[in-house]
């Protein structure tokens, strides 16, 4: 080789894609059939063994060029990215099968090894096979400059039919680059979420070292966008969510951005420190300025814990209290149960004196029902003034001197307490002739509520939500959480004490409140509040196609979240439980094991997850996911790293806090 040729090759080897292919990639064969969507790669057993194996779903690089003493020189700065779908028959496949059959038969009959009944040429011929590959796209540079950025197109713009394409299996380093492409502009935004994993069987990957190929994601992809985490129970969904929440927390600190995160926690696993590894999301902060955990029974010794309860007698949350009671009694499907739930407790304008009076009478019945069901409170937070006939009320006040009091003008009375409301409701309920307007079912809902007092089906159902009542609580939890989001806190709502219906109602109310507040801010032309909403066991909260967008806060969130900069991470084992409108607006996908083709058929409608459905159903390994991110160009199979305390401490240090030694943590 002349000096000129050597210099020319040296220059070529420094071009970005030429350098990439020469970074330890191993040749495994060549393309002998190519079209715009697929390629067939000729290979043999020797090349596959030398490369360390080629798994189904694995990446291959097809390049046109020549082998030189200095390395492989590309004809053009283009690399076609292939994914192995399976095997393909060779043109002489039938002849090869006949020969293999003869070898197996003769070796078995003579009791010798297969090599003993074949010659070298025959053995070489029998080792040939082919891969059926999907064309994912093309890496290319727009110029031949050494520092030209590598671009990616999700197709190929030309088909060369001559046998010019050699095929390489990526090295560990190149595989990591492929799995992490494109790299974020700011290196700090790259999170090592796991390592590439193509197959459940990992022997070949362990031997070749490709099991060490790190996968980095751009944390910014997950902020203000929707992310789905699908998988059966115990397949690592919670581990993935903890990793993402911690990464977003760290990202906010490093970029000086206030990003609130709200987790709906149905099992209490996010609200508490894990007993096995002694770490948890609550350790991201030391006090309520950073982390707030809303629980039915908060600890007075921990400022991070806040009451989840609402005062059911507080008229600021009357709509929430009525919603919870209505949902709790939904299983009571009798006529009186349906009549009870049809009652309306929306307070009318006080200038509508007749309407306000009827509302007050119905509210007396509701507060009395709560008291009957054990919702204790010494008094009512706001004065409840009602009109009533003076004569019958005089008799009532004589029998119950502490229940009501005269309120100014004659015929106007103030209910003093929940116990007073119960006494008055029972008195009025038994004396329809003295209080005819209260019992007018056409215009007043008093009777609809009073009529269930004697039915244990309703009262026992209401008993189940009593833990969510706190007479000392003030205001709406939804408003408290909005303030947390504005302050950039991590807020965890521990819903482990409620049944599914209570969890659903409370979650929807909170999301609706946040959406309404974000909408108000948007209409006022104020900057949006960055926030993330995280939902575990989402199939218990979502319902597919059941309601209009305006009535379904989750679908509304999927439609409106982008303009409000509200992100959503939802985890479930049921793809079919998620509204199609939400799936269509989901940017990031992490798919672990699913055991039903009913679910995978739905999943197959999105991106090219159809290719992965056999693996998704078959491989049950914990943390093994197929991932497509917002900026990612293709699906990457990943073994998600285990969430550990080092992640928590990195986020704490980024926030200006000291690391926590879990050995000394007394949580």
**For the segment 615-630, what is each residue's pLDDT rounded down to a tens digit?**
999 999 999 999 999 9
Q: What is the pLDDT of residue 269?
A: 87
Count of CB atoms within 10 A of residue 577's CB?
17
Q: Would you give the distance in Å from CA 620 to the centre of its chain?
A: 20
Cβ-contact 557, 515 below 8 angstroms: yes
Q: What are phi and psi of 13, to 5 degrees?
A: -65, -20
Q: What is the pLDDT of residue 3?
A: 42
Q: What is the pLDDT of residue 650?
A: 94
CA distances from 651 to 254, 599, 648 (A): 9, 36, 5
CA distance linking residue 298 with residue 321, whole number of Å: 20
* DSSP structure class, residue 71: -
469-513 pLDDT, tens digit per residue, is 988 887 788 899 999 999 999 999 998 876 677 777 788 889 999
Cβ-contact 117, 110 below 8 angstroms: yes
CA distance linking residue 505 with residue 323, whole number of Å: 7
The β-bridge relationship of strands 151-153 and 190-196 is unpaired
Q: Find out whether the peptide bond into 295 is cis, omega within 30 degrees of 0.
A: no
Q: What is the pLDDT of residue 86?
A: 92
Residues 6+ apart with CB under 8 A from 562: 224, 225
CA distance linking residue 313 with residue 375, whole number of Å: 9
* DSSP structure class, residue 284: G
Q: What is the CA radius of gyration of the chain?
A: 33
- Provide the whole-model pTM: 0.84
Cβ-contact 569, 241 below 8 angstroms: yes
SS3 635: coil
Q: What is the pLDDT of residue 298?
A: 87
Q: What is the pLDDT of residue 666?
A: 46
CA distance linking residue 134 with residue 86, whole number of Å: 10
Q: Which residues of the chain have pLDDT under 70?
A: 1-11, 114-119, 162, 498-499, 540-541, 543-551, 663-667
Q: What is the pLDDT of residue 496?
A: 84
Residue 489, CB-side half-sphere exposure with 13 Å CA sphere: 24
CA distance linking residue 517 with residue 103, whole number of Å: 75
CA distance linking residue 214 with residue 199, whole number of Å: 16
Secondary structure in 3-state letters for 463-521? HCCHHHECCCCCCCHHHHHHHHHHCCCEEEEECCCCCHHHHHHHHHHHHHHHHHHHHHH
Cβ-contact 381, 435 below 8 angstroms: no
The β-bridge relationship of strands 531-535 and 260-265 is parallel
Q: Where are the alpha helices (DSSP H) in 293-450?
A: 318-328, 335-341, 353-372, 390-399, 418-429, 446-450
Q: What is the pLDDT of residue 389?
A: 93
């Amino acid at each position: 080789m002349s000096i000129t040729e050597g210099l020319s090759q040296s220059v070529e080897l420094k071009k970005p894609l030429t350098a990439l292919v020469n970074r330890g990639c191993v040749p495994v064969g060549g393309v002998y059939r190519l079209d715009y969507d697929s390629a067939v790669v000729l290979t043999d057993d020797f090349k596959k063994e030398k490369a360390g194996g080629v798994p189904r779903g694995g990446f291959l690089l097809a390049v046109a060029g020549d082998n030189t003493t200095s390395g492989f020189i590309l004809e053009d700065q283009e690399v076609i990215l292939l994914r192995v779908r399976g095997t393909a028959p060779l043109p002489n496949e039938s002849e090869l099968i006949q020969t293999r059959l003869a070898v197996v038969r003769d070796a078995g009959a003579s009791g010798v090894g297969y090599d003993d009944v074949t010659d070298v040429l025959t053995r070489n011929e029998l080792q040939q096979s082919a891969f059926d590959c999907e064309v994912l796209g093309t890496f290319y540079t727009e110029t031949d400059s050494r520092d030209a950025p590598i671009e990616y197109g999700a197709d190929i713009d030309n088909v060369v039919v001559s046998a010019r394409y050699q095929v390489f299996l990526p090295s560990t380093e190149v595989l990591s680059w492929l799995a992490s492409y494109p790299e974020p502009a700011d290196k700090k935004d790259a999170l090592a979420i796991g390592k590439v994993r193509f197959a459940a069987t990992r022997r070949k990957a362990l031997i070749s070292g490709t099991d060490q190929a790190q996968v980095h994601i751009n944390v910014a992809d997950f902020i203000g966008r929707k992310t789905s985490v699908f998988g059966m129970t115990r397949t690592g969904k919670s581990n993935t969510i903890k990793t993402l929440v911690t990464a977003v927390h760290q990202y906010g600190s490093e970029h000086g951005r206030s990003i609130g995160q709200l987790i709906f926690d149905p099992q209490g696993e996010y609200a508490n420190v894990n007993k096995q590894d002694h770490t948890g999301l609550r350790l991201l902060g030391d006090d309520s300025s950073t982390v707030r955990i809303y629980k039915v029974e908060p600890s007075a010794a921990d400022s991070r814990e806040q009451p989840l309860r609402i005062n059911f007698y507080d008229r600021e949350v009357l709509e929430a209290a009525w919603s919870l009671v209505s949902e709790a009694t939904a299983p009571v499907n009798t006529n009186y149960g349906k009549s009870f739930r049809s009652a309306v407790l929306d307070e009318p304008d006080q200038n509508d004196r007749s309407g306000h009076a009827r509302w007050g009478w119905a509210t007396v019945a509701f507060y009395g029902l709560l008291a009957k069901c054990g919702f204790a409170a010494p008094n009512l937070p706001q004065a409840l003034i009602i009109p009533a006939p003076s004569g019958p009320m005089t008799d009532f006040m004589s029998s119950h001197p502490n229940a009501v009091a005269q309120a100014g003008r004659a015929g106007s009375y103030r209910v003093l307490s929940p116990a007073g409301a119960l006494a008055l409701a029972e008195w009025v309920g038994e004396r329809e002739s003295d209080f005819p307007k209260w019992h007018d079912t056409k215009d007043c809902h008093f009777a609809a509520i009073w009529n269930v007092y004697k039915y244990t089906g309703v009262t026992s159902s209401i008993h189940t939500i009593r833990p969510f009542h706190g007479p000392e609580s003030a205001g709406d939890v939804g408003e408290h959480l909005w303030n947390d989001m504005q302050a950039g806190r991590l807020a965890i709502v521990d819903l482990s004490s409620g049944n599914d219906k209570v969890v659903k109602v409370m979650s929807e109310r909170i999301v609706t409140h946040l959406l309404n507040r974000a909408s108000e801010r948007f209409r006022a032309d104020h900057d949006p509040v960055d926030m993330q909403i995280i939902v575990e066991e989402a199939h218990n909260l979502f319902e597919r196609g059941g309601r209009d967008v305006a009535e379904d806060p989750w679908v509304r969130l999927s439609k409106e979240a982008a303009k409000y900069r509200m992100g959503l991470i939802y985890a479930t084992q049921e793809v079919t439980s998620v509204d199609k409108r939400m799936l269509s607006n989901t940017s990031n996908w992490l798919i672990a094991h699913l055991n039903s083709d009913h679910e995978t058929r739905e999943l197959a409608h999105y991106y090219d997850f159809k290719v992965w459905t056999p693996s998704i159903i078959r491989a049950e390994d914990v943390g093994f996911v197929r991932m497509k991110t917002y900026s990612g160009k293709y699906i990457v199979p990943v073994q998600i790293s285990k969430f550990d305390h080092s992640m928590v401490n990195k986020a704490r240090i980024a926030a200006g806090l000291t690391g926590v030694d879990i050995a000394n943590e007394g949580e």
